[in-house]
Amino acid sequence: MQIEQLKPIIEAALLASSQPMTIHQLGDLFGEADEVSHAQIAKALETLAEDCNGRGIELKEVASGFRYQVRQDVHPW
């Protein structure tokens, strides 16, 4: 699966999840037929994080996985 196809799936999963998700957990979303590697998921996460540049949110890796959160500089509002 191409990175551009993975991005909206991973983004939706992270937004729908009530807790951060690891690369392994994100990989569990896909079946063998999808042929999605952990390296592809990591690249998609990297690209999604870059897509957040200049926005009020960021994609962060925390101890328990990846999550979207409000950037510190706009948090007061």
Report pLDDT digits (tens) over 25-73: 999 999 999 999 999 999 999 999 999 999 999 999 999 999 999 999 9
How far apart, in whole angstroms, are the C-alpha atoms of residue 33 and residue 15?
25
Tell me what pLDDT residue 71 has.
95
Residue with tokens 């999840």: 17
Asked whether residue 75 carries a pLDDT value surpassing 90, the answer given is no
